[in-house]
Copies of this chain bind each other. A is one copy, B any other.
Amino acid sequence: MGDKKIFATPQDVENAFYEALECGDLDLMMSIWADDEEIVCVHPGGSRLLGYASIREAWKQIFDHGNRLEVAISQLKTVSTPFAVMHSVLEQIRIRNKSDVMAPVAATNLYVRGSMGWRMVSHHASPVPPLPTETPDDTPKVLH
């Protein structure tokens, strides 16, 4: 895989993650993940993917499909500890050159600090009801 970037902060990793997603850049995408069997990726509506090789293969398929995406990130919430930082964000994903905004997605991103700086270890993304939704009487439709 050649050179690995060093990311000094979780936000740097997250910026690179969404840049790779928008550009369809597989090398950049895979540079932000920890090279580990325990990493986890759940795409909206997709299966849970485990480990670097499976996660790479899924991104490759997504990027090979060819649609270029625009992703707007909002409403960042953060939980920080010395060696692990969680970012919870809302994503508004749009296929470039199409006006339809796809359903908003909630993403939980987890970053861990190792000897090579910060890396993503988990990305869990799933569709949420259309915004605005942050009102108390917006009853979630839930299975449990």
Check if B57 sits within 8 Å of A136, measured CB to CB.
yes
**Number of chain A residues close to chain B: CB under 8 A:** 59
Binary contact readout A43-57 vs B (1 if CB under 8 angstroms, 0 otherwise): 111111110001001
Residues on A lying within 8 angstroms of B by beta carbon are 21, 38-40, 42-50, 54, 57-58, 61-62, 69, 71, 75, 77-79, 81-84, 86, 88, 90-91, 93, 102-103, 105-106, 108, 110, 112-113, 121-122, 124-129, 133-134, 136, 138-144
A84 CB contact (under 8 Å) in B46, B57, B83, B142? B83
> With A and B bound together, what is the CA distance between A49 and B43 in angstroms?
20
Contacts A38-B79, A44-B126, A48-B75 aside, 4 further interface pairs with beta carbons under 8 A come to A47-B138, A49-B140, A79-B121, A108-B110
